[in-house]
Amino acid sequence: MLIYLPIAEMPVNMFMVLAMGAAVGFISGLFGVGGGFLMTPLLIFSGVPPAVAVATVTGQVAASSTTGAIAYGRRSAIDFKLGTMLMTGGLLGTVLGVWFFNRMRQLGQLDLIIQVSYLTLLGGIGLSMLIESLRTLFRTRTGKADVKAGRHAWYHGLPLRTRFKASGLYVSLIPVVALGMFIGFAGTVLGIGGGFILVPALIYLFRVPTAVVVGTSQFQILFTMIAAIILHALTDRSVDVVLALLLIVGGVFGAQFGARAGRNIRGEHFRLLLALIVLSVGVRFGIDLMARPSELFSLAAGRAP
């Protein structure tokens, strides 16, 4: 069944979009990531203009994060103090991200920025996560202790240190807020919740327990994505409401099943699966960038010298 998208200006199969939303929603609930790092590329690969895909997916990410946050909140698996600090930085980053998004779109460089950023972020982070996950699995099977556990990095001791009881942390607020700002900026520009960055960052950089990190990630993503979709709708008007509603319906349905399935995944397996998913999407963007274009030359109206 075809349905027309007014902002994207193209017809799509309604059931295909619902299925995409459900699949990404399941992964969102399972790993505590917004799911945008999968949904935005899927829409772009399906022919949706990158600017519309980025702005519209923020609504789907917010919806799936809402259901995920509720599910983890009921199990007391959210560090609300840590999530609030991350959210503070995230809102600042969101405002900066919308400005940068609109500026690059005016210059005609937004599509290239999105593709290169996805390749760099997903490829680099996915590869790092994969290496670390394999090392952790090796240590677990050989009985070797993780020598990094319990150590504090230099940024933990910066000024404004505070205690996060739910996570068992006593660290500076500066790197926490800075991390949230980066997640908010990247999420707004690329149409991602940023969970695929936030989750491993909290685990590896701050040693937040896996049992708490997923719910805290969902909590932060929820508020930054609500702010992002409002700003996108008001400033660049690239949010396709019809597409967003289809993605939300599918995402809400899938996120509930993902949150339940996540209870049975061990920490080291959790990180390995997330690394493989992130890395695979980055590889796909790399292939697209290196592929020979279907049209080597194009004509466009321009100003005479």
Any domain includes 223: yes
Any domain includes 123: no
The alpha helices in the chain, defined as continuous H runs, are 14-31, 36-45, 50-74, 80-107, 110-142, 173-190, 195-204, 210-235, 241-261, 267-290
Q: Residues 6 or more apart from 62 whose CB is under 8 A from it?
A: 221, 222, 225, 226, 228, 229
Any domain includes 256: yes
**Percent of the chain whose predicted confidence (pLDDT) is above 90:** 5
Q: 13-17, 122-126, 295-299 — which is least confidently predicted?
A: 295-299
Any domain includes 116: no
Q: What is the pLDDT of residue 96?
A: 93
Q: What is the pLDDT of residue 8?
A: 79
Any domain includes 297: no
Any domain includes 302: no
Residue 153 CA to residue 155 CA, distance in Å, equals 6
Residue 88 CA to residue 254 CA, distance in Å, equals 28
> In terms of residues, how long is the chain?
305
Q: What is the pLDDT of residues 262-287, one digit of tens each?
A: 566 655 566 677 777 777 777 777 77
Q: What is the pLDDT of residues 108-153, one digit of tens each?
A: 888 788 878 877 877 777 777 777 777 777 776 776 545 444 456 7
Q: What is the pLDDT of residues 68-123, one digit of tens each?
A: 788 778 888 888 888 899 999 999 999 999 899 888 888 888 878 887 887 787 77
Residue 183 domain boundaries: 12-108+155-199+210-266
Cβ neighbour number for residue 83 with a 10 Å cutoff: 26
The model's confidence at residue 62, banded by pLDDT at 50, 70 and 90, is confident
Q: 86-100, 157-171, 247-261 — which is least confidently predicted?
A: 247-261
Q: Is pLDDT at 297 greater than 70 in this prediction?
A: no
Instruction: Indicate left, alpha or beta for 48 from its phi (over 0: left) and psi (-120 to 50: alpha).
Output: beta
Q: What is the pLDDT of residue 151?
A: 55
Please write down the HEC assignment for all residues of 157-187: HCCCEEEECCCCEEEEHHHHHHHHHHHHHHH
Tell me which DSSP letter residue 100 carries: H
Any domain includes 98: yes
Q: Is pLDDT at 4 greater than 50 in this prediction?
A: yes
Any domain includes 273: no
Alpha-carbon torsion (131, 132, 134, 139), positive or negative? positive
The one-letter code for the residue type at 109 is Q
For the chain, the domain total comes to 1
Q: What is the pLDDT of residue 229?
A: 85
Q: What is the pLDDT of residues 218-233, one digit of tens each?
A: 888 888 888 888 888 8
Q: Is pLDDT at 305 greater than 50 in this prediction?
A: no
Q: What is the pLDDT of residue 303?
A: 43
Q: Is pLDDT at 201 greater than 90 in this prediction?
A: no
Cβ neighbour number for residue 138 with a 10 Å cutoff: 11
Q: Is pLDDT at 196 greater than 80 in this prediction?
A: no
